[in-house]
Chain A
Amino acid sequence: MRKLLIILFFTVCALFFKTAFAVISLELTRGISGALPIAIVPFGIEGQTPEQNIPNIVSNDLQNSGRFKVFGASHLNYFPTNVADVKWDYFRGIGTDNVVIGKVQQIGVNRYQVSFQLLDAIKGKNAPNEAIVLNQKYVVQGEELRSLAHHISDVIYQHMTGVRGIFSTRLAYILVKRPAGDKPSYVLEVSDQDGYNPKPLLISTDPIMSPSWSPNGKQIAYVSFENRKSAIYIEDVATGRRHLISESKGINGAPAWSPDGRKLALVLSKTGTPNIYLMDLTTQQLTQLTNDFYINTEPSFAPDGHSIVFTSNRSGNPQIYQLDLATRQATRVTYDGKYNARASFTPDGNHIVVLNQQSGMFNIGTLSLDSGTFRVLTNGGADTESPSMAPNGSMVLFGTYQSGKSVLGMVATDGSVQIRLPARDGDVQDPAWSPFLS
């Protein structure tokens, strides 16, 4: 039944949005423990039924965060839409004190008023008026309903966990199609955090890689191999306008923004081997940060901007090093496993997330920079690549494989939940999670 609904949902989406069909969809692959119970009751509809089912979207968002145990439409057998109609014992009986009810009213052509309440069933049993924990009302156009649903998820998530939600953020990734007997096509796409509304930023017959969001989320730096050479571009997400940043002889790769957005760390091999440089984006001036004959790559800034981590094989195989930008001293930080690469910091700066190989599969792991404790997050069922942190530090986005195709996955940084986003058409790889966008 649920599957049918999902299929139906995609069909409806495809019918209504010719350019906005979903390329990837969420799928839970691992269980949840210690999750917050919450009931999301189907909303009351007045007037025309809108294209987007807000409570379904909110249910999916919260469920996929790994922090909630959601009681949605399929778990409930009655659907109150007013506080006065809520039977508190019913919700307490099925195991949740948190209840979301709401309404969608059509108030014009393609115009809707959406309201929702988060209710506390413990309080509601004694004093129904005190049960309303959150109470919000919005007026939106039909095409804004989906982003409004994500916003509602953010409001509920933040209220109940104390952490800012990531449901209104976006993903950038590379979609590769390899038609038999023809050249492959590479598309740099941006989609909503749940894979909906994919939009192309660059389409090429040559590889595109390493998308990197600017800290304000307005631009993406990436590597393109157009015209048989590598080059770094920065493209404006809204306008699609782009400018060339670097096309030195050899490698131009691994762009990474400084937290203030004024500098770009990048990798150039113009001296013969890949080394890390810092470019002042105002003056285009370059400062060389590493200088040896090994592979030095994948720079990523610490949240305070005072240091970067990067990958180097100077010890014989790839490991992560931290470079103090004031002293230019680099110290090795990873020792677990024979291969550690593509490191990035958690938003609090206390951990790094890495691509790690101990033996066999490549997994996503976290390293505590204080204690040195290393933890493997993914389950080793398939190789992974390109870990990218959610801006609230709750989850890591990564590339992986399923049935011979590249797909995206997400894993909670506490390891509690793992999600797969199956590719619909082609390989989806090399993802980057956007910063908060508002």
Chain B
Amino acid sequence: MQLKTLAKAMLVTLSIVAVSACTHTKKNMDSTTSINDANGGGSSQVAGVGDNANYGNENASDSAKAHNKNTYYFDFDRSEVHESDLPYIYAQANYLMAHPNAKIILEGHTDPRGSREYNVGLGERRANAIASILRSKGVNPNQIRILSYGAERPAANGRTEQDFQLDRRSVAVHIQG
């Protein structure tokens, strides 16, 4: 029951994020992204939000939170960060530096194609790519933990290229602070 409420809150939050995101990047891509995240990615992300119901909430007072985006996307078998995600990663860095007690798990994910354990390695590289940007911006490494799920927690859970694009991601899950 509580999870359901949180999932709803997440949906609302993500739509808000989507609206603000549209001002920065391609419109179509970002709106589908956010909708699918709220529906398909519920299980892993809701669990993450569950420990920190306030973070990203629409009522949150800290303006840094409202401008944040916690999911960053990648190309097939690649771990280079998309330039379009950099503003959100920088915002994440600013938030973490402003809240030294905040901690995140950077999850690494891949699409379901290819080999499972190789994908675990690939997911870790993706999460590391985000982590190294955060560290280069001055974030304390102790605030970040890397956890690669490979292909085991798809966001979209479908077999189209559009689904795969949503699966290939790193998610910053806030666990405290």
Which residue numbers of A lie inside 8 Å of B, CB to CB?
178, 181-184, 186, 207, 209-210, 225, 228-230, 250-251, 253-254, 267, 269, 272-274, 295-298, 311, 313, 317-318, 339, 341-342, 355, 357, 362, 383, 385-386, 401, 404, 430
Contacts and interface: CB of A to CB of B under 8 A. Distances in A.
B147 interface: yes
B116 A228 contact: no
A386 B105 CA distance: 28
B148 interface: yes
A404 B118 contact: no
B115 A386 contact: yes
B159 A267 contact: no
B132 to A, nearest CB: 11
Interface of B: 3-4, 7, 42-43, 47, 77, 105, 112-118, 120-122, 124-125, 128, 146-150, 152-153, 157-159
Contacts of B115: 298, 311, 318, 341-342, 355, 385-386
B114 A339 contact: yes
B173 to A, nearest CB: 9
Nearest to B122: A295
Given A228-B147, A362-B114, A184 B124 contact: no
Contacts of B114: 318, 339, 341, 355, 357, 362, 385
Contacts, number: 101
Contact of B121 (A251, A357, A430): A251
B18 to A, nearest CB: 21
Contact of A229 (B43, B77, B147, B152): B147
B117 A250 contact: no
B78 to A, nearest CB: 10
A171 B118 CA distance: 22
Contacts of A269: 121, 124
Contacts of A184: 43
Nearest to A383: B113
B68 to A, nearest CB: 21
B116 A183 contact: no
A181 B1 CA distance: 10
17 contacts: A181-B4, A182-B3, A186-B152, A207-B153, A209-B117, A230-B147, A250-B124, A251-B120, A269-B121, A273-B124, A297-B121, A298-B117, A313-B77, A318-B115, A362-B113, A385-B114, A404-B159
A19 to B, nearest CB: 27
A274 B153 contact: no
Contact of B152 (A209, A228, A386): A209
A311 B118 contact: yes
A360 to B, nearest CB: 11
Rank and list the top 8 A-B pairs by shortest CB-CB distance, nearest first: A295-B121, A341-B115, A207-B152, A254-B117, A342-B115, A274-B121, A297-B117, A341-B118
Contacts of B118: 295, 297-298, 311, 313, 318, 341-342
A225 B124 CA distance: 14
Given A251-B124, A269-B124, A210 B146 contact: no
Contacts of A250: 124, 146
Contact of B157 (A178, A251, A253): A178
B7 A183 contact: no
Contacts of A401: 159
A17 to B, nearest CB: 30
B47 A342 contact: no
B116 A209 contact: yes
Nearest to A317: B77
